Structure 1
Amino acid sequence: GQGLSWGHLGQTFLAYIILTVIILLGELVLDDFLEAVVINPVFPEVTTSFGWLTPEGTGRSINLFGHAGALLFYSSVVVFLYYRWRGPLNGKKDYAWRPIWQRTVKRSKSSTISILFLMGMAIIMQHAGMTQLLAEMMSEYTGRLFPTISPVIGALGAIMTGSNTNSNVLFTTLQQQTALSLGLAVAWILASQTAGGAIGSVFAPAKIIVGCSTVADADSGTVLRLAVISGGVIILLLAVVMTLMTLFGVV
């Protein structure tokens, strides 16, 4: 087959270089310019049938042209135009952009839908007072042991949903409110949440299955078992670290 040259390797990594440059420009150089259009939605006061009140106020502002998604879009357009001009790396004359676009849309459907529903569920739980009630219950029954189980909660969220991002969407507010109820350092608790989620996503069944699908004759059961053992040890170490930090008054 055709050998891999340094030129081909550089062309392969060029997309990531362009992505990095555009993000740095957008965040550090052109941030004021990109923030020219910011959407600040205002939501009315909402009261549930159980008396939980969410006061009127603005939601999270949306930086239309400087949002992380917008920067990714700019990067995608630049990379697409470059490769469209240069042609495919395998030497073929035709640049089959349509199948690439179709595969991208197909593969992103499930994750996009899941994130939308998870975000909706998390916001409903927050505005209905469910998250606050769960936080009060956890603070009552776990007390000062809560930092120990904080990374475990993050890991369980990632295992259930398949990613650290989704775990944070589900449980960040819960962990934050529980930490506030117990008088704990919120930053450390949230760091524990996302650290546990990062490790838990390593052996999330959804990711294991997707990864094994790219390798012929891969045994997803064996991979999952080995990943659970190694990931479980790391989560246990995180729990021990959080316990020690609690005992020494850091958290």
Structure 2
Amino acid sequence: MATTPPAALAAYTPDVAAVGDSLTATALLGLVPLATFFVLLMAARRPALHSALGALLAALLVAVLGYGMPLQLGVLSATQGLAFGLFPVMLIVVSAIWFYELTVAGNRFEDLRRSFNSVGRGDLRIQAMLIAFCFGGLLEALAGFGAPVAITAAMLMALGLPRLTSAVTVLVANTAPVAFGAMAIPITTAGTLTGIPAEDLAGVIGRQSPLLALFVPQLLLFLVDGRRGLRQLWPIALVTGAVFALAQFWCSAHFAYELTDVVAALAGFGAAVIMLRFWSPTTPDDQRSRVEAEPLTGRRVSLAVLPYVLVIAVFALAKLRLGALDVPKLLGTLTLQLNWPGLYGNLLAADGSPAASAVYKLEVLGNPGTLLLLSGLLVMLIYSRAKDSDRFPMSARIGLSCAGRTLRNMRTAIATVATVLALSYVMNQSGQTLAIGTWLAATGGFFAVLSPVLGWLGTAVTGSDTSSNALFATLQQTAGKAAGIDPTLLVAANTTGGVVGKLISPQNLTIAATAVEQPGTERILLRKVAGYSVAMLAVLCVLVALQSLPVLSWMLP
């Protein structure tokens, strides 16, 4: 053994018929890690981190004992996935949450919340819709990971909405924005894993999720006040949903896709504010808000909105191409590209060339996490020099304190997502995902109908559209290629399907029940929202199937 070169000893090429020369047997064995994850999470009720670790161990065992992958390559695949899970995935998420925490620490978030409360001319139903949908969408864009549900549920209770109604309303509202949540990290993750440009995926998703955004505000009115609320207030719900949907469509394809939800939430809210200047709702006495918001000065409202306007400006500048000035190219000059040590050159493609997946790439300056950090620093600077900084303190010490608190609070989520990405890389690079995808492709064109279901299942179980894409994006791509369906469409469908799985995930149900001070009501909430989740999933399945055919293929970019 000592005379054999390490590279020759470790070389490995994935084989979709590694088990008994059978694609079916190989694919079924490849499903074991996913089954392990779901059984540990749902049946054994283990925490997501423990379930991911168990699935990672199962994936390594399947890779080594079943597929013949050298152990050292399996471990190296896991380390590459772990690194990607930390940078850029969790860098973006942590930066986004820190950015949000800055507004809270500086007391500006309270002004923003009160601005949403003050709109609606005292009509509880309009306020509930705008808070759950627009403000929740803004929180999903920057924070995600349950924050929109927890914060907006408490706000709806303060308005006077019943506890369980508040929980159901925010769960249903937390659908349309999810694909672009936390600075569109589900899309970024899917793009990196599959090699499909994230901008292309975002463009397709921007022709799917806006369909939900168009109708969700109407549904929220029905949840809050039944048919009466829908009959009396449908015009403002239609305007809010339509503007939100149009902003999602435009921004996902023509602007910075990472900012899609920020732009859509602000646009939808702004459209509602403008409409209420010319249109007055019919408000029954039993639907008047209990909250009488203290009037805010224009300056305080401007400073409350400033961080979100600023982050839009920073991302817009990062995308600017004007004559000889190419900012993306300039930012891309500092890019870390690393042939993963020990893996690159030993993990081989079918033609014997080094597998491209063994190359780790991190854009340092143009990364959304870096841009968010820069935006946060600018916010700190502006807030610290504001004339009312004595009432709304901000300093470097407060900013660092926020960063430290964010890291502490996110440590379990960071470890979980990084482990799920390690699992994904082992399954992808060992050939498990390739075998499953090739096997599922036998369904042919019908797979387009099933595609959103995988995303729905992944998010429903993990509580994260990012984790769902980590598990299934490459599988969708493989199945699409084998079945002759556009892989970009199917990977996008995985993301959009995950959107409607979010409202039935145990994690979200628990957050909602806790936020409305009704722990133990998760089963009640599940019964109330499951039908909406399945109905929206059915709509998406039909939409994706038609988009895969000439009937609606014109919708795709």
Instruction: Tell me what 2:383 maps to.
Output: 83
**1:119-145: CA deviation from partner (whole Å, max 9, x where unpaired):** 1111111110111111122123x3332
1:90–1:213 Cα change, 3 Å: farther
- 2:300 counterpart of 1:8: yes
* Contact 1:154 1:196 (8 Å CA) reproduced: yes
Residue 36 of structure 1 aligns to a residue whose secondary structure is coil
Instruction: Tell me how far 1:177 sits from its aligned partner.
Output: 0.4
SS at match of 1:139: helix
Cα contact 2:463–2:506 (8 A) shared by 1:
yes
SS of the equivalent of 1:41 reads: strand
User: What amino acid does structure 1 have at the position aligned with 2:380?
Assistant: F
CA distance in 1 between counterparts of 2:300 and 2:461 reads 39
Counterpart amino acid of residue 225 in structure 1 = R
The structure-2 alpha-carbon separation of the partners of 1:90 and 1:194, relative to structure 1 and needing over 3 Å to count, comes to farther
1:38 corresponds to: 335
Provide, for residues 104-161 of structure 1, a one-character-per-residue CA deviation record: whole Å limited to 9, x for no partner: 2233222222221111111111110111111122123x33321111101001111122
Given that 1:54 and 1:127 are in contact with CA atoms closer than 8 Å, whether structure 2 keeps it comes out as no
Alignment gaps of 5+ in structure 2: 1-291, 322-326
- Judged with a 3 Å threshold, the aligned counterparts in structure 2 of structure 1 residues 42 and 224 are, in CA distance, closer, same or farther, namely same
Report the counterpart of residue 156 of structure 1 in structure 2: 457
Give the partner amino acid of 2:313: V
* Mapping of residues 1-251 of structure 1, within 5 Å: 3-5=294-296, 6-28=298-320, 30-43=327-340, 44-47=344-347, 55-57=354-356, 59-86=359-386, 91=391, 97=398, 100-140=402-442, 142-217=443-518, 219-245=521-547
Whole-Å separation in 1 of the counterparts to 2:382 and 2:455: 40
Structure 1: state its 5+ residue gaps. Answer: none
Q: Deviations over 1:153-180 (max 9, x none)?
A: 0011111221112211211110000010
Relative to structure 1, is the Cα distance of residues 107 and 89 closer, same or farther in structure 2, using a 3 angstrom cutoff?
A: farther
Give the Å deviation of 1:54: 7.5
User: Does the 8 Å CA contact 1:157/1:197 hold for their aligned counterparts?
Assistant: yes
Contact 1:179 1:189 in 2 (8 A): yes
Comparing 2-11 and 164-173, the one that deviates more: 2-11
Root mean square deviation, CA, Å: 3.1
Following superposition, the deviation at residue 78 of structure 1 comes to 1.5
Query: Is the CA contact (8 Å cut-off) linking 1:8 and 1:89 kept in structure 2?
Result: no
Mean Cα deviation higher: 210-219 or 147-156: 210-219
Q: Tell me, what secondary structure is at the counterpart of 1:61?
A: strand
Q: Distance in 2 between matches of 1:66 and 1:175?
A: 28
Q: Distance in 2 between matches of 1:188 and 1:94?
A: 45
**How far off is 1:213 after superposition?**
2.8
% identical equivalent positions:
22
